[in-house]
Amino acid sequence: MKQATWMLMLVLAALSLPACNTMHGLGKDIQKGGQAIERAAS
pLDDT tens readout for residues 12-39: 887 776 766 677 777 888 888 889 888 8
Which regions of the chain does DSSP assign to beta strands (E)? none
Separation in Å, CA 9 to CA 18, 22, 33: 15, 20, 36
How high is the pLDDT of residue 6? 84
Q: How far apart are CA 10 and CA 32, in angstroms?
A: 34
